[in-house]
């Protein structure tokens, strides 16, 4: 369905829409005519309307006087290859990839050293545009744990719930930081076992797969310092907490990578706080991985505090 036209502002500039589509990308100059600064950065996802990345990145662009803007584009799995091609064609600087594109994107970029990517930079060369992929989820997670929780990841016994693109990236970050124990939990236990087998245990670390059942989780949580949820549980209304309160020991710290646009606590955050466990939410990961993505696009140091303020104002106001 064709979106309704939007009225131009008094100064002649047309306001950007909240979400665009692949159909818009196919005719980007027409779809974004009158919008200034031009939209040359975006997050691709399915769903994507909930993403708080645009206000965060737009605050950074404004702070550094970069005359570009960032938006959301709803891209379905079978549309990703064309969407990336079109972004390069229309002179995008870069894009972020969110659910469900982080693993599929690896095969669609020209260069990457990561097995899961969430950031793509368009590099213009004499021979055309080269797509370079990066993963900022893992390094952003490490920064968030150190900055927001005040602990070093290499000293934490970590339990990760969910092993999709983000979960895999965070597990690899924990392994590379040599945390003393890494426990991997997935609804499909064979997936957790397969990932654990990929990580060769080092003398000062161990990696194990844990079944997603109350008995196994209870035993594992007794020996856990940091619980990280990367599953999608909590995004949809009515979702349960991935861990019921009775399983969460008060000594653990909880990092739920899910966040709600309403600003309300996720079911896991509510469950953790109910037993007195310290908890941070997905805005922390969004902030720190976003700052690293911004630095891949533009170099230098991202204005993290401006991004933090914009993110805090956006989440809960939409």
Check if 236 is active-site. Answer: no
**Partner residues linked to 74 by β-bridges:** 21, 45
Residue linked to tokens 């229309």: 90
Residue 25 CA to residue 104 CA, distance in Å, equals 19
Q: Please provide residue 94's backbone torsions phi and psi, each rounded to the nearest 5 degrees.
A: -175, 170
Helices assigned H by DSSP within 165-229: 165-176, 189-198, 214-221
Of the candidates 102, 113, 191, 236, the residue annotated as catalytic is 102
Asked if 247 and 274 touch (Cβ cutoff 8 Å), the reply is no
Is 195 within 8 Å of 171 (Cβ atoms)?
Answer: yes
Provide the token pair at 185. Answer: 């939990």
What is the C-alpha to C-alpha distance for residues 305 and 288, in angstroms, rounded to an integer? 11
CB contact at 8 A, 96 and 118: yes
Identify whether the C-beta of residue 246 lies closer than 8 Å to the C-beta of residue 300.
Answer: no
Residues known to be catalytic: 102
């Amino acid at each position: 369905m064709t979106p309704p036209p939007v009225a131009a502002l008094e100064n002649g500039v047309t306001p950007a829409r909240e979400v665009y589509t692949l159909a818009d990308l196919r005719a980007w100059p027409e779809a974004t005519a009158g919008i200034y600064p031009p939209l040359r950065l975006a997050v691709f996802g399915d769903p994507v309307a909930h993403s708080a990345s645009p206000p965060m990145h737009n605050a950074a662009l404004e702070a550094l006087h970069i005359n570009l803007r960032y938006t959301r584009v709803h891209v379905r799995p079978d549309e990703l290859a064309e969407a990336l091609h079109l972004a390069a064609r229309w002179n995008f600087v870069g894009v972020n990839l969110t659910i469900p594109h982080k693993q599929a994107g690896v095969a669609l970029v020209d260069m990457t050293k990561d097995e899961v990517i969430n950031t793509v930079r368009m590099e213009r060369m004499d021979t055309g545009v080269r797509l370079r992929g990066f993963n900022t989820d893992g390094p952003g997670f490490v920064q968030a744990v150190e900055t927001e929780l005040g602990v070093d990841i290499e000293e934490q016994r970590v339990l990760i719930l969910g092993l999709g693109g983000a979960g895999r990236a965070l597990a690899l970050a924990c392994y590379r930081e040599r945390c003393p124990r890494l426990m991997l939990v997935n609804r499909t236990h064979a997936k957790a076992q397969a990932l654990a087998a990929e990580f060769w245990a080092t003398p000062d670390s161990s990696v194990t797969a844990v079944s997603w059942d109350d008995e196994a989780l209870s035993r594992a949580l007794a020996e856990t310092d940091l619980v990280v949820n990367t599953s999608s549980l909590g995004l949809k209304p009515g979702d349960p907490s991935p861990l019921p309160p009775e399983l969460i020991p008060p000594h653990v710290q909880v990092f739920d990578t899910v966040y709600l646009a309403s600003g309300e606590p996720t079911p896991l955050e509510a469950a953790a706080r109910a037993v007195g466990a310290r908890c941070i939410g997905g805005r922390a990961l969004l902030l720190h991985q976003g700052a690293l993505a911004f630095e891949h696009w533009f170099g230098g140091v991202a204005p993290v505090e401006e991004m933090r303020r914009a993110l805090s104002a956006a989440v809960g106001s939409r």
